[in-house]
Amino acid sequence: MKKENTLQSFFNLDDFSKWKKEWVGMPEFIQEDLEPVQQIIVSFATREDVKDFAKLIKQNLTHKSNSIWFPKVETFESIKYLYVDES
């Protein structure tokens, strides 16, 4: 079975063209490159060394921390926002 036929069996492909009408006049979305320029593995001999490092970089590190951004990146918490339709 061709891939096209498989898609048609799951979806009505005519419905996919309807989104174009909804997006007329919408701004273009450009995804920034969010990949890091470099990553470095840092190892610590003791928990005290981890605490000292956390103070030095002014970030909170716990036993569950496995990565950080430096400098600290403020994240967007979308859960705080609600998007609703005008109707």
Q: 7-37: string of b/e by CB count within 10 Å (b at 16+)?
A: eeeeeeeeeeeeeeeeeeeeeeeeeeeeeee
The whole-model pTM stands at: 0.53
Helix (H, G, I), strand (E, B) or coil at 9: helix
Cα dihedral across residues 42, 46, 49, 51: positive or negative: positive
Write out residues in the chain with pLDDT < 50, as ranges. 1
Q: What is the pLDDT of residue 13?
A: 66
Q: What is the pLDDT of residue 8?
A: 56
What's CA 78's distance to the chain center, in Å? 11
Is residue 53 within 8 A of residue 42, CB to CB? The reply is yes
Q: What is the pLDDT of residue 34?
A: 85
Q: What is the pLDDT of residue 55?
A: 97
* Token digits of residue 28: 């273009």
